[in-house]
Structure formats: C-alpha cells, structure tokens
Amino acid sequence: MGLAAGALAAGLFATSAASAAEPKLLVFVHAAVKQRALEGELRQALPGISVTAVGRIADFDRALAQGQDAVLALPVVLSARGLQPKMRGQRKGSGSESYALVGADAVPDPARVATVGALDLLGREGTNGFVQTLLGRSLKVERVTKVEDLLPLLQMGRVQAILLPSRLFSEIRTASRLNLLSRDIARGVELCALASTGPNAPPILSGVSRLPKALSATLGVDEWR
C-alpha cells in the first residue's frame, strides 16, 4: 500500500508539474461561437498550451491577474491594460476592420441614434468611450457580453441600433426574423492581436501564427504578422 500510494503521489505531482509548466494563453475575443466552443477549438489547435477563453471583462482581469504567458484580445483592450501587441491579426491585407450600425426596418443614422447596443470590451466607462469615439458623439450604450445577446436588445426595443463588426452582419441577419439593415461607420477597429505577458510566450506566438484558417477566421483574421 505504501509503495502504491507513493507511486500515485509521484504521478499526481508529475501531472501537476507538467500542467504548471504549460504556457498559458488568455483569450478575450467576442466571436459568433460560444466561448467554451472557442476555447475547445483553440486547445485542440494548440497542443501543450493551456488555453482560457473568457467573454466578460471582469473574468479577463481576474485571469490576467493570476498570471498568463500571452493574451489574445483586441488592441484597444490590450492598450487599456498597458500591454503591447507582439503579433497582429490581418484581414484582407489590413490590420483593421469596419464596424456597422444595425437597425430594424430602417438604416440607422449614426448622427441620430440615441441608444446603441454593443459588446462590453472595457467595462461601462471604457465601452461607452469606445462606442462614442467610433460614432463621433455622445449617446447611451447598452452593454452585453455575447454576440447573440445583441439581437434581443433590438427585438425588445431597448436600443435603436446595435454595433458590431461588419463581417458578422450576414450571420446575425440569418439568425433573426427582423428586417435588419446596416450602415458601415467611417472609423475602423484594429483586429485582435497577441501580447506577451510571461516567459513562455514564444511557443504561443508560434502556435497562433499557424492556426487553421477556419479558426483564425472565427477570430476575424485570415493571417498573422
């Protein structure tokens, strides 16, 4: 029994040590799939790397404080936490993408809408500032934590329009019975990027640079530089 217990303890210790040595990647990117599904796909594509995907800014800050080797998020999020990108996503040769205002039955006018639904990227004040900078004016912002939670804001009449990456419009329109119409806004938003936050970041950067095209597309990216 003593030998068996010792062997079991040694095995558990080895497993724990191996887990602790794994490079840790924190992902805070809103996508058209659930965070758990995104996390699973990333883990499968990045063997030997511990991946945590979150959809709430509070969870992001908590996980970041626990120690990570790399963080994948929009540059506006990285900058707000004092992090500098080491590798940036590209889409169609550009490092940024357009955002669109989406409304029901009428094309929303950025100069006239009074309430807008948006994904919570930076908490209340930060997200309000982000949206108001994109639209060039002050207005009320309703925040949600998931892409699929944007449509109910329109359906329940809580907002006059929702704001999201233009590439997601067709997917949202397909999922809704509303007569959705969109208008691209002038200012673009930088695509997600990877920041180094720990000593084991290099294998993460290397792995992310080789992600399958379909998975990169889920993140809004078609190549990494």
Domains and CATH numbers, the chain: 2-93+191-224 (3.40.190), 99-187 (3.40.190.10)
Which among 107, 86, 88 has a CA at the least distance from the CA of 97? 88
- Taking the chain (225 residues) in runs of 10, the rounded mean pLDDT of each run is 49 48 96 95 98 98 98 98 98 96 96 97 97 96 96 95 96 91 96 98 98 97 96
What is the model's pLDDT at position 11?
Answer: 52
pTM equals 0.89
In a 10 Å sphere around its CB, with 0-12 CB exposed, 13-18 middle and 19+ buried, how is residue 44 labelled? exposed
Cα–Cα separations (whole angstroms), residue 115 to 76, 140, 142, 159, 183: 22, 5, 7, 5, 16
Residues in the chain: 225
Q: How far is CA 117 from the centre of its chain?
A: 17
